[in-house]
Amino acid sequence: MWENLQHEFQRYFVDNGASDWWLGGLKTTLLVTVLALCIGVILGFLVALIRSTHEQTGRLKLLNAVCVVYLTVIRGTPSMIQILIFYSVVFASIPLNNIIIGGIAFGINSGAYVAEIVRSGIMSIDRGQMEAGRSLGLSSGQTMKLIIMPQAFKNVLPALINEMIVLLKETAIIGYIGTVDITKAATLVQSRTYSAFVPLISAAVFYLVLVMLLTYFMGKVERRLRRSDH
Amino acid sequence: MTTNGEVLIKVEDLQKHFGDNKVLDGISTEIHKGEVVAIIGPSGSGKSTFLRSLNLLEVPTGGKILFENVDITDPKVDIDRHRQKIGMVFQQFNLFPHKTVKENIMLAPVTLKLMTPEEASRKAEELLNRVGLPDKAQAYPGSLSGGQKQRIAIARALAMNPDVMLFDEPTSALDPEMVGEVLEIMKELAQTGMTMVVVTHEMGFAREVASRVLFIDGGNIQEDAPPEEFFASPKNPRLREFLSKVL
């Protein structure tokens, strides 16, 4: 019984390069997700700031127009098509690691969703908060940074966590540009072993564990931020 | 309580339109140092818009506002610098809910580098004593009553050492039993010689504390008199009608 289990483990996770695929796949999924998260969050906050500044003051017309086009295109096309375009068109003649291409593509995709989440957070803050900051002599930038954004961030954190989870799982399509991530590793092992059950269930478990870890740590952040709510 | 102090705010032909809707219809007046000006009037009369124009939270569509001899309606003027000298207290308090009471008070002077954190901290403690809430320094606004919130909001505005304090219906959002504590703080503030402009429905406060009472209706000042005269022998017929309803 024990030997049998060990043998099965060898077959699915070690032999014929299976261990390299799994470990490499895990690393790829994590790297692409982290890179995309960073790009997405920075881009998303930037776009949200431009959009809400425009909505509140009417300034930044041109930048706002660029942001609207960005949001429309990214949210209006499948991420699968987007990553293929990045791989075979945008970076076709630029020698770049697939992980970086994937990170950029998913980051730009995620940024659009983050932007709308953050913008809704900024809009949810009472107008009086901005007025109170400005009436004390703070500039609109200072009020945004010290008063509006911390509150907005706290309000949208659950939605942001959700977007992070979606992003993590969405990276599963990166196999289409020939990169071995968790999903691709599973299908490779499947084709070597002629058995679908163990590799696919294993891939699912990997994703589940990653999502649970992410949820756990973000939950900690959220609880910290909720301290001021009595 | 004198009207012959120097002019702090001079308003000339102030106008504000929202589309076709004329909210302020050419208001002109002067506010002198040390005066306590109460502004009363029916809702929708433009009294809040007038007050909010004085620190440019509402941008006027015409006219001038000279604050300490500088026209702050001039787009070239650094309005943030002038707002530091114009304290404002809102109907809805507008405390920063993610900051403690003390942080609320210290935020602006420290951010604007007018005080070191130590100085601001001392100032905050002094102000908390003055508004009678020294034990609330570490509390968050969410745990305070309306009256306490408004007293903190007054302390926050005072932390900037303003030359004038604007109050936009400071007691209108309060439960009746909390109105008194806020008015008491305002009365004490008036006794220190602070210049105050107060939009209010509290006729008792206007009568007792104000040095001058303005009646605004239809976007303009209809009556401008010391409180005794204002309440005893109102000249404007609309004011007479208004007073008969509220008194």
Number of helical (H) and strand (E) elements in chain B, helices listed first: 9, 10
Contact pairs from chain A to chain B, CB under 8 Å? 70
> How confident is the model at residue A2, as a pLDDT?
86
Question: Closest Cα of chain A to B215: distance in Å?
Answer: 25
Per DSSP bridges, beta strands B36-40 and B212-217 are parallel
Query: Which of B170, B162, B54, B65 lies closest to B46, judged by CA?
Result: B54
| Integer Rg of chain B from CA | 18
The pLDDT score that the predictor gives to residue A230 is 53
Q: Hey, which residues 136-155 in chain B have their CB within 8 Å of chain A?
A: 140, 142-143
Confidence of residue A101 (pLDDT cuts 50, 70, 90): very high
Q: Which residues of B touch A230 (CB under 8 A)?
A: 140, 142-143
Mean pLDDT of A55-70: 92
Average pLDDT, chain A: 93
CB contact under 8 A, B90 and A132: yes
Q: Find the mean pLDDT for residues B196-217.
A: 96
- Give B-chain residues touching A145 at CB under 8 angstroms: none
pLDDT of residue A229: 66
- What would the pLDDT profile of B86-143 be if each residue is shown by its tens digit? 999 999 999 999 999 999 999 999 999 999 999 999 999 999 999 999 999 999 999 9
* CA distances for B194 relative to A46, A146, B68, B208, B210, angstroms: 42, 29, 15, 16, 12
| 3-state SS, residue B159 | coil
Q: How far is CA B89 from CA A174, B95, B155, B168, in A?
A: 55, 10, 10, 6
Give A181's DSSP letter: -
- Residue-wise pLDDT for B155-202, tens only, equals 999 999 999 999 999 999 999 999 999 999 999 999 999 999 999 999
pLDDT at B1 over 50: no
Cα separation of B117 and B95, whole Å?
A: 19
pTM of the predicted model as reported, rounded to 2 decimal places: 0.86
Chain B nearest-CA residue for A153:
B98
Whole-angstrom Cα distance, residue A191 to residue B149? 67
How much is the average pLDDT of B41-49? 92
pLDDT at B3 over 70: no
Query: Does the beta carbon of B134 lie under 8 angstroms from any beta carbon of chain A?
Result: no
Give the range among A1-10, B101-110, B215-224 with minimum mean pLDDT: A1-10
Q: Which of A35, A34, A60 is nearest to A46 (CA)?
A: A60
Q: What is the ipTM of this complex?
A: 0.92
Is residue B70's pLDDT more than 70? Answer: yes
> What is the distance between the alpha carbons of residues B131 and B192, in angstroms, rounded to a whole number?
14
Neighbours of A215 (CB within 10 A): 15
What is the gyration radius of the CA atoms in chain A, in angstroms?
22
Task: Specify the residue for token string 């940074």.
Answer: A145
Residue B19 — very low, low, confident or very high, per pLDDT cuts 50/70/90? confident
| Chain B residues within an 8 Å CB radius of A129 | 94, 96
Q: A153-201, pLDDT tens digit by residue?
A: 999 999 999 999 999 999 999 999 989 999 999 999 999 999 999 999 9
Residues of A in contact with B87 (CB under 8 A): 135
Best of A136, A229, A230 to substitute, by most chain B Cβ atoms within 10 angstroms, is A136
DSSP B134: G
